[in-house]
Chains A and B, each alone.
Chain A
Amino acid sequence: MTDQVIEARELRKSFKGQPALAGLNLEVPAGSIFGFLGRNGAGKTTTIRTLMGLLKPDGGDACVFGLPAGDLTAGIEIRRRTGFVMEDKELYPYMTVEQILRFTRSFFPAWRTDLEKKYLKLFDLSSSRKIPDLSKGMRSKLMLLLAISHGAELLILDEPTEGLDPVGVEDLLRELVSISAAEGSTIFFSSHQLEEVEQIADRICIIDHGAAVVTGSLDDLKTRYRRLRIVLREEIPSPIQWGMGVERLRQHGRMVEVLVSDNFDTILKQAQSLPGSSVECFPVNLKEIFLEYVRSN
């Protein structure tokens, strides 16, 4: 058995000849809070819809809980064990909160009435309210409540904080952290809000043009990535040949800026050995990593 809750290998999908997924690889370990990052149109929603069995890939495999996502029978099992919040956050407009709860409850034998009660209170959702009368933030919370309450081991959330105000975002993130701590659920969420991903995710994947460009543990990435700023005594005519691990290089006259993604020790020694150099070292945050990869592509 695998301890990856989600596993995708070489996923491909095109719409009208336009590739949306171009060989995406993805591994989401059990118990993680996983941030799935990318620009608009990078392939986040296509990936999520494929994982939920709503789209058939042109090539590659996707497994959730070790079960094939495209398979009809397996798909039922996957959806039973997964709480899913869609991007558009659409819900039956003619129902009240109480009605949608009763409706959803009937599909899930493992329904957690305790969680339903807890989050109704916490989210301040009144059961008699009609869905169209709810604000966008309230609808997001209602969808999250539905996803959590069916006792899901995995939450897949497509841009859960989109359209929420800063207080709403912080509340929602806090709930995700709390669910992760209390229930041990795996949380997979897509976003382009780098700050919120940086705050709660332990693992990330940056997707661009349908493929993963950076993936791994956030702590590990932050430890490996560093920016060096070097001032040389004199301009060097030929470009410096750096060792392995230099991701990006910018040189303006005597100023050199190096983005290091690995082998920091070696690169640092090399920088310090340059003639008359002053070397400064800066940590790199997720936004910088994101921009470096996504912009250059």
Chain B
Amino acid sequence: MLFRVSPNTGLPLYLQLMEQIRHAIETGGLRAGDQLPTIRAVAEDLVVNPNTVVRAYRELEREGIVELKHGSGAFVSESVVGRAKVTPKAQNIVQVAVQRLSDCGLTDDEIRRLFDNELALHRAEKSSGGKQ
């Protein structure tokens, strides 16, 4: 399994790792029932704290994407197939949005920045809202 994280982006590493596992599932790199690499293997491979990997797996378990089986490791949930079907639909939404923004005369960079900024705000609201 190939994961990659960037420690100095300011984004918590466990969130980056969660994102990559989700992405691997969405693109079919990981399928329902597949076993995820062990915590130690991921920690050593990425050279990150084992607790970071534990946290990512636990959060994914809470989201129902991963199942932690005691003693035998972490697996992609059987119910996760539903998510793969969402991806084309999401792609359609983005496609329409990008087309309309580009019709308004916005450049690729401007559109990208708008998306990034919207995501950053969304994420910030979600994470600080979730804490209270």
A–B Cβ pairs within 8 angstroms, 10 of them: A199-B7, A200-B49, A222-B10, A222-B12, A225-B10, A283-B10, A285-B8, A285-B9, A286-B8, A288-B10
A268/B124 in contact, CB under 8 A = yes
A-chain residues with CB within 8 Å of residue B124 when the two chains form the complex: 226, 264, 268, 281
* Chain A: minimal CB distance from B132 (Å): 8
A-chain residues with CB within 8 Å of residue B99 when the two chains form the complex: none
The majority secondary structure among interface residues of chain A is helix
Partner of A181, one of B40, B121, B131: B40
A-chain residues with CB within 8 Å of residue B9 when the two chains form the complex: 283, 285
A88→B120 CA distance, assembly (Å): 44
A144→B106 CA distance, assembly (Å): 56
Interface, chain A (partner B; CB < 8 A): 31-33, 170, 173-174, 177-178, 180-182, 194-195, 198-202, 218-219, 222-226, 263-265, 268, 279-288
* Chain B: minimal CB distance from A244 (Å): 13
Pairs of residues from A and B, 3 with the lowest C-beta to C-beta distance, nearest first = A283-B10, A285-B10, A181-B50
A284/B47 in contact, CB under 8 A = no
A223/B12 in contact, CB under 8 A = yes
A195/B117 in contact, CB under 8 A = no
Partner of B48, one of A200, A280, A283: A200
A170-B47, A177-B47, A282-B10 known; 15 other A-B pairs, CB under 8 Å? Answer: A174-B44, A177-B49, A177-B50, A178-B40, A178-B43, A181-B39, A199-B7, A201-B49, A218-B12, A219-B14, A222-B11, A265-B132, A281-B117, A281-B121, A281-B124
Most buried by B among A181, A283, A287: A181
A283/B43 in contact, CB under 8 A = no
Residue of B nearest to A263 (CB): B128
* Chain A: minimal CB distance from B35 (Å): 18
Within 8 Å of chain A (Cβ to Cβ): is B52? yes
B43/A177 in contact, CB under 8 A = yes
A-chain residues with CB within 8 Å of residue B43 when the two chains form the complex: 177-178, 180-181
A-chain residues with CB within 8 Å of residue B52 when the two chains form the complex: 202, 219
Within 8 Å of chain A (Cβ to Cβ): is B55? yes
Within 8 Å of chain A (Cβ to Cβ): is B127? yes
A181/B128 in contact, CB under 8 A = no
B47/A32 in contact, CB under 8 A = no
Within 8 Å of chain A (Cβ to Cβ): is B125? yes
A285→B128 CA distance, assembly (Å): 17
